[in-house]
Amino acid sequence: MKKGKLFVISAPSGGGKSTITRELIKKAPGLSFSISVTTRKPRPGERNGKDYFFVTEKEFEKIKKEKGFLEFANVHGYCYGTPKKFIEDHLKKGKDILLDIDIQGGKQIKKIYPESILVFIVPPSFKVLEARLRERGKDDEASIQKRLKRAKEEIKEASLYDYLIVNDQLSSAVERAREILIAEHSG
């Protein structure tokens, strides 16, 4: 049986990775989505087990100690991790998996799975990124400034990724991501 492929999508906060990921899952039947574990509280509309697995810091540390994460990182003061068993089981069954994780996690995945395909999403400009963060209304001013500072650092590391997509129009960005999936299977 052919082993599945592991796709990672990363972007700075407000870059559109979660939206692109959701749309890509709809357009790519057979692509499994790995739900991350996090210590942050759910945002309005998010559901446990669908968007994230929401856990306490103590629960997160227990999973980490038991080596239950493929990768983990602290992002904006919260812990995030990718469940190892889900990834390993799906890849062995020949299923493709999509991870929506930050750049720290993406770099860790590439070390563990050098054959993984990393896709970095960038906004058309820093000004657009700032507007998106403000428009979504999820963060206070201090958080927005922290996210913008981190975005500058993350964008500098985009060259570590296999593909770069400029998210200037959602439908084109999703189509470009879908084309990457297709291209990676034709090689």
Note whether residue 168 is domain-resident: yes
Note whether residue 1 is domain-resident: no
- Count of domains for the chain: 1
In this structure, of 66-75, 113-122, 130-139, the range with the lowest mean pLDDT score is 130-139
> In angstroms, rounded to a whole number, what is the distance separating the alpha carbons of residues 143 and 139?
6
Q: Which two tokens stand for residue 129?
A: 């990124």
Residue 169 is part of a domain; what is its CATH number?
Answer: 3.40.50.300
On whether the CB atoms of residues 53 and 127 are closer than 8 A, the answer is no
Segments forming the whole domain that contains residue 64:
6-185
Question: pTM for this one?
Answer: 0.88
* pLDDT tens digits along 37-90: 999 999 888 999 988 999 999 999 999 999 999 999 888 889 999 999 999 999
Is the confidence at residue 186, as pLDDT, over 80?
no
